[in-house]
A and B are shown apart, each in its own frame.
Chain A
Amino acid sequence: MHVLSKETNINFIGIRKYALILSALLLLVSVYAIVTKGLNFGIDFTGGTMIEIAYPEQADLNQIRTTLSEAGYDDAVVQNFGSLQDVLIRLPVIADQNMADLSNEVVAVLSANDNQQIQVNRVEFVGPQVGEELTEDGGLAMIYALFGILIYVAFRFEYRFAISSVFALVHDVVLTVGFFALFELQFDLTILAAILAVIGYSLNDTIVVFDRIRENFLKLRNAEPPEVINVSVNGTLGRTIMTSMTTLLVVISLFIFGGEVIHGFAMALLVGIVIGTYSSIYIAGSSILLLGVSKYDLLPPEKENDDAVGSDGSQV
């Protein structure tokens, strides 16, 4: 099973043009989808009420819709959730209405109108004010995370590495969010958490590649930057794919067996991890090259010169 540990020698830098074009295209589609279609924000962000009800037998969605609109809830979105017995009802913020009591009223209307014994599995109500704050806080969290990472990477590596890693992260975030916009999947708080987890994961991947690039810049003294990057990406390829595989295995398990509530979360992770893996192989390395990194940027500071002499026997 040494398929990947055989010295791979794919010319990643040679095909970086195609990778960049692909990424540019995907970014364009994502931004277009986000701008034109917008995100299908869940009640976490917009405010509103969500009620999950289990019927003992198959639920008649049309009947439920009629009952609700007769009771004055015209804007109710009624759909199945997971199975034919489970129904999800979503209601936007309604003017002139005490929103906190809405869920109880809706449940009362439905149980009065139905001979079946219904069971309320889940109720979520978020006031419009809270939703607004969450949107704001969520955006801020994303920016803080990126900023914290920028500083750490600049400190540990070099500013061009920092910019490239953040670029790769923005790339991953935009594509993942774009995916949700394009397919009109619901975007709620758990998706935001998943995207932040993707940031952490994708960064993890990128850092491993960068770490090798830094090492190889010092080891392969006569090599040009494109070659160094190529060797490094090839050197870490086995690990990148292995880790993505194991993580994907559990995320897929979460996606299939974790239940409806966690579905979107797993979906976001799935998409994000695939994109994150791609970006750390194709995008992160290329972009430090574009920013013009050279081995002189990575020479260790004066103090460490003695160690350098000791370990590889050469003078700097």
Chain B
Amino acid sequence: MNRYPLWKNLLLLVVIATAVIYAMPNLYGDDPAVQISAGRQASLDNALVSNVETQLKEADLPYKGLTLEDNRLLIRFADADSQLKAREMIAGSLAEQDYIVALNLAPTTPEWLTGLKAEPMNLGLDLRGGVHFLMEVDMQAVQHQALTGIADDLRLLLRESVIRYTRVEVEGDTLFLGFRDATERDKAEQEISRDYPDVVVSTDESADRPTLALNMTETFLRETQTLALQQNITTLRNRINELGVAEPTVQQQGQNRIVVQLPGVQDTAQAKKILGATATLEFRLVDFESDVQSAVNGRVPANSELFNHRDGTPYLLNKRVMLTGENIINAASTLDAQTNSPAVSVTIDGKGARIFSNVTGDNIGNPMAVVFIESKSETEVVAGEEVRVRKQFPEIISVATIRDQLGKKFQITGLDSTTEARDLALLLRAGALAAPIEIVEERTVGPSMGQENIDKGFKSVVIGLVLVLVFMAVWYRVFGLVANLALAVNLVLLVALLSMLQATLTMPGIAGIVLTVGMAVDANVLIFERIREELHIGNSPQASIRAGYDKALSTIADANVTTLIAAVVLFGFGTGTIKGFAVTLSLGILTSMFTAIMGTRALVNLIYGRQHRPALSI
């Protein structure tokens, strides 16, 4: 007699029932939706909800539902057409306020399921369309910036302590300080080691003059880099919010990389431009006393620098920078009231405003320039090696005469188009990146491609599954049907687990499921072949069933553990998509062991367990 204890049967039933419930949300589709979330200076409240409702009614745009939850307002539509229209309208009406209006897909899971926290799987970018960027922070630049900052401080320190220095220079990862004689150098060394615990000071014997070499300590360097990375993540988040993406991901990866995923984004050129832009602004006074022409010929005055206006005219500007983009707290694109040309109105912080009003007050009637500096990286071949080089492209966007003392608010003009004004305002508002950043990987999938991938993946799973089902039924008859039922349950379990974990389903993930389907029957094949062998050597049917399951168990365990090792390694080294494959494969191994051993045994017991000498159909 082969019978399972009641608790085992109950356990199976409970597991299967739970799995069915948690797998169910995946059967419901999505509604096209518009999502509104609030920025820092706005709030989502009932006033906004009724405002949006009125707008939709006036525009005669029917919507299926409107929900305010998790700090976002979700408006569902019946079709993509009204979704797009609604977004355009709402984005237009909320443009002046700090709201993010984005397209999204809202799952139509019924309430009783969401109440149980049952949610559908997330679809990866390759299935829903969108763009994935891997961005790398230029850590050398971070180090350079930090050292330059220290250099500025040191100049002040040395001047205050009346130590005469001949040079302060950053070269690579070292800051060099040159002195006239060794006494001055030693005095400086003492001062610096006392006041700067974050740097290691040593005398540089290779230089012809007494020189100190300063290096950042390991800890300080790491701290600085971590800070820069986190600051960049914050800035990127701000910029993405400005772009209006429904569910963006911005995550640190490793020591110096950031993953950015923007589902649904189509205009990758715009996204790249905004995310990677290291643009910053500088406000400088124009040196109108020196001769520009002789500077172009190579004789640049000591206190000035030569810049080109974007129309090609060269200008000499003071080396001293009055104000940089860092002091900007708000910026908005607008039209210049006098010329009706695109402009950006800028608000600066108190500290910036003080400096700005002092300098402009002293220079009424003199010209001032706004320099737009963009840095880009390019790959160059140096001595046969590919090296990435970062270049700065400064250009003057406007030169204007200071007519008045400028304060907290002013306008930047001289922009080419309204688009440019909008982009510049966006960048100034979202803040500058702490360190230059570069896209080192991009994966973009168009939306129709995503749907095609889903269809193809689904089709191949179904066809593969049907083939296996037929094959098993023909080969093992009743036992084959039992295995088939287990296989179906296995799929439900796998989908339920993936949904519970809120795993992201990708194309390789589907491949993992397909492979699991193929391999899941293995355990049953092992068991059934064993049962056949036992029957063949003349054992009774009941004894054969028992022996078949018992003897196959250790083999199944060994075989699956080794596959699991491969899957775990795959997960450990893999990024994104490969990880998805590894997750589905490992979960599939676990669920298939459960259904193929316990599940089929319960069924076999149910069918044959009570008979004395059943005729096994195997």
Chain A residues with CB under 8 Å of B581's CB are 193, 197
Q: Say yes or no: is A179 at the interface (Cβ < 8 Å to chain B).
A: no
Q: Say yes or no: is B223 at the interface (Cβ < 8 Å to chain A).
A: no
> Would you call B379 and A97 a contact (CB within 8 A)?
yes
Can you name 17 A-B pairs with beta carbons within 8 Å? Answer: A1-B475, A94-B379, A101-B269, A101-B272, A122-B443, A122-B445, A144-B573, A145-B569, A145-B570, A192-B578, A193-B570, A204-B560, A238-B529, A243-B521, A249-B471, A262-B456, A262-B460
- Contacting B at CB under 8 A, from A200-221, are 200-201, 203-205, 207-208, 211-212, 215
> Within the complex, what minimum Cβ distance (angstroms) separates B590 from chain A?
14
Closest Cβ neighbor of B444 among chain A residues: A123
Q: For the complex, count residues of A whose C-beta is within 8 A of B.
A: 82
Chain B positions within 8 Å of A, measured between CB atoms, are 126, 134, 136, 268-269, 272, 276, 376-381, 386, 438-446, 448-449, 452-453, 456-457, 459-460, 463-465, 467-468, 471-472, 474-475, 507-508, 511, 514-515, 517-519, 521-522, 525-526, 529, 532-533, 536, 551, 554-555, 558-570, 572-574, 577-578, 581-582, 585
> Would you call A269 and B442 a contact (CB within 8 A)?
no
Determine the distance from Cα of A128 to Cα of B380 in the docked complex, in whole angstroms. 12
Chain A positions within 8 Å of B, measured between CB atoms, are 1-2, 5, 7, 52, 93-101, 103-104, 108, 119-130, 137-138, 140-141, 144-145, 148-149, 152-153, 156, 189-190, 192-193, 196-197, 199-201, 203-205, 207-208, 211-212, 215, 235-236, 238-239, 242-243, 245-254, 256-259, 261-262, 265-266, 269
> Would you call B272 and A100 a contact (CB within 8 A)?
yes
Using A148-B569, A257-B459 as known contacts, list a sample of 6 further A-B pairs with CB atoms less than 8 Å apart, ordered by residue number in A.
Answer: A95-B379, A98-B376, A101-B272, A119-B446, A145-B566, A250-B464
> Would you call A122 and B562 a contact (CB within 8 A)?
no
Chain A residues with CB under 8 Å of B554's CB are 211
Total A-B pairs, Cβ < 8 A: 242
Determine the distance from Cα of A104 to Cα of B271 in the docked complex, in whole angstroms. 11
Closest Cβ neighbor of A199 among chain B residues: B566
> Would you call B561 and A152 a contact (CB within 8 A)?
yes
> Would you call B567 and A200 a contact (CB within 8 A)?
yes
Determine the distance from Cα of A236 to Cα of B529 in the docked complex, in whole angstroms. 8
Determine the distance from Cα of A132 to Cα of B439 in the docked complex, in whole angstroms. 16
- Asked, given contacts A141-B569, A193-B570, whether A103 binds B442 with beta carbons under 8 Å apart, the answer is yes
> Would you call B555 and A208 a contact (CB within 8 A)?
yes
Closest Cβ neighbor of A258 among chain B residues: B460
> Would you call B386 and A95 a contact (CB within 8 A)?
yes
Determine the distance from Cα of A234 to Cα of B115 in the docked complex, in whole angstroms. 54
Determine the distance from Cα of A97 to Cα of B381 in the docked complex, in whole angstroms. 11
Closest Cβ neighbor of A140 among chain B residues: B573
Chain A residues with CB under 8 Å of B378's CB are 96-98
Closest Cβ neighbor of B135 among chain A residues: A100
> Would you call B511 and A265 a contact (CB within 8 A)?
yes
> Within the complex, what minimum Cβ distance (angstroms) separates A288 from chain B?
15
> Would you call B464 and A253 a contact (CB within 8 A)?
yes
Determine the distance from Cα of A145 to Cα of B386 in the docked complex, in whole angstroms. 32
> Would you call A207 and B508 a contact (CB within 8 A)?
no
> Within the complex, what minimum Cβ distance (angstroms) separates A108 from chain B?
8
Determine the distance from Cα of A200 to Cα of B565 in the docked complex, in whole angstroms. 8
Q: Contact partner of A119 among B448, B514, B517, CB < 8 A?
A: B448
> Within the complex, what minimum Cβ distance (angstroms) separates A142 from chain B?
8
- Asked, given contacts A130-B441, A257-B456, whether A249 binds B518 with beta carbons under 8 Å apart, the answer is yes
Among A149, A235, A257: residue with most chain B CB under 10 A: A257
> Would you call B514 and A5 a contact (CB within 8 A)?
no
> Would you call A253 and B514 a contact (CB within 8 A)?
yes
> Would you call A144 and B569 a contact (CB within 8 A)?
yes
Closest Cβ neighbor of A43 among chain B residues: B441
> Within the complex, what minimum Cβ distance (angstroms) separates B1 from chain A?
21
Determine the distance from Cα of A39 to Cα of B554 in the docked complex, in whole angstroms. 39
Determine the distance from Cα of A256 to Cα of B514 in the docked complex, in whole angstroms. 13
- Asked, given contacts A145-B566, A152-B562, A207-B559, whether A247 binds B578 with beta carbons under 8 Å apart, the answer is no
Chain B residues with CB under 8 Å of A149's CB are 562, 565-566
Chain B residues with CB under 8 Å of A236's CB are 529
Among B269, B560, B573: residue with most chain A CB under 10 A: B573
Chain A residues with CB under 8 Å of B276's CB are 100
Determine the distance from Cα of A248 to Cα of B519 in the docked complex, in whole angstroms. 10
> Would you call B514 and A250 a contact (CB within 8 A)?
yes
Chain B residues with CB under 8 Å of A251's CB are 464, 514-515, 518
> Within the complex, what minimum Cβ distance (angstroms) separates A220 from chain B?
14
> Would you call B569 and A5 a contact (CB within 8 A)?
no
> Would you call B573 and A141 a contact (CB within 8 A)?
yes
Chain B residues with CB under 8 Å of A124's CB are 442-444
Determine the distance from Cα of A128 to Cα of B532 in the docked complex, in whole angstroms. 56
> Would you call A203 and B442 a contact (CB within 8 A)?
no
> Would you call A5 and B532 a contact (CB within 8 A)?
yes
> Within the complex, what minimum Cβ distance (angstroms) separates B364 from chain A?
42
Chain B residues with CB under 8 Å of A248's CB are 518
> Within the complex, what minimum Cβ distance (angstroms) separates A96 from chain B?
6
Determine the distance from Cα of A248 to Cα of B517 in the docked complex, in whole angstroms. 11
